[in-house]
């Protein structure tokens, strides 16, 4: 990028790429010394997306009656709650993310399939295999067109009473 100037300090903007910077110093007696460093400047493009869970707006408690079970699934042999999930994500390069770019999962793959849905919003069935209820750690992962991914977590307790 050419000469960067003179003086004890400099603020410069460098182009993307590898730069070899040499500091040349001269004292009052005319003695000189050079020091060289190499800087690699990377593009600020291809930033990861931003993502947030909007529904539910916060983690639930273990006694939140809004997440009490809806019924019993005899085929699965478990209680369940149908839960609305919603989230938003955007990316500097791709704009608003939707569809398969948003993936919802539960950590409770011991009692149900981990993959819950794709997209910005929907209703999923979360199961509880014990009378005391169970915690689900629900993740929303936003993936941009270059594969950058960011995940947000929401803890939901499916409240049951046998």
Distance, CA of 45 to chain centre: 17
The per-residue pLDDT for range 30-86, each reduced to its tens digit, is 999 989 999 888 776 788 999 999 999 999 999 899 999 999 999 999 999 999 999
Cα separation of 55 and 78, whole Å? 24
Tell me if 62 sits within 8 A of 133, measured CB to CB.
Answer: yes
CA distance 46 to 48: 7
In terms of C-beta density within 10 A (0-12 exposed, 13-18 middle, 19 or more buried), how is residue 134 classed?
buried
Rounded CA-CA distance 48/33 in Å is: 42
DSSP state of 59: P
Please give the model's pTM, rounded to 2 decimal places: 0.73
Q: Residue 66: helix, strand or coil by DSSP?
A: helix
Q: What is the pLDDT of residue 110?
A: 97
Helix (H, G, I), strand (E, B) or coil at 31: coil
pLDDT of residue 41: 84
Given this model, what pLDDT does residue 15 score?
86
Q: What is the mean pLDDT of residues 16-24?
A: 88
* pLDDT, tens digit (0-9, with 9 covering 90-100), for 118-148: 999 999 999 999 988 999 999 999 999 999 9
Tokens of 27: 């004292």
- Closest by Cα among 53, 62, 71 to 135: 62
Band of pLDDT at residue 7, cut at 50, 70 and 90: confident
| Residue 63: predicted pLDDT | 87
CA 147, distance to chain mean position in Å, is 12
The per-residue pLDDT for 118 is: 98
pLDDT of the residue at 111: 97
In the structure, what pLDDT confidence band is assigned to residue 155 with cuts at 50, 70 and 90? very high
């Amino acid at each position: 990028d050419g000469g960067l100037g003179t003086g004890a300090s400099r603020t410069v903007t460098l182009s993307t790429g590898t730069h070899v910077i040499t500091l040349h110093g001269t004292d009052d007696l005319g003695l000189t010394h050079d020091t060289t460093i190499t800087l690699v400047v990377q593009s600020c493009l291809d930033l990861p997306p931003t993502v947030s869970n909007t529904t539910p707006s916060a983690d639930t408690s273990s006694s939140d009656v809004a997440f009490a079970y809806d019924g019993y699934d005899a085929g699965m042999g478990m209680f369940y709650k149908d839960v609305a999930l919603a989230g938003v994500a955007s990316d500097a390069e791709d704009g608003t993310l939707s569809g398969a770019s948003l993936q919802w999962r539960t950590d409770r793959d011991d009692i149900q399939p981990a993959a819950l849905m794709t997209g910005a919003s929907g209703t999923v069935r979360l199961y509880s295999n014990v009378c005391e209820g169970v915690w689900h750690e629900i993740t929303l992962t936003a993936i941009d067109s270059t594969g950058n991914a960011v995940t947000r977590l929401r803890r939901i307790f499916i409240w049951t009473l046998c």
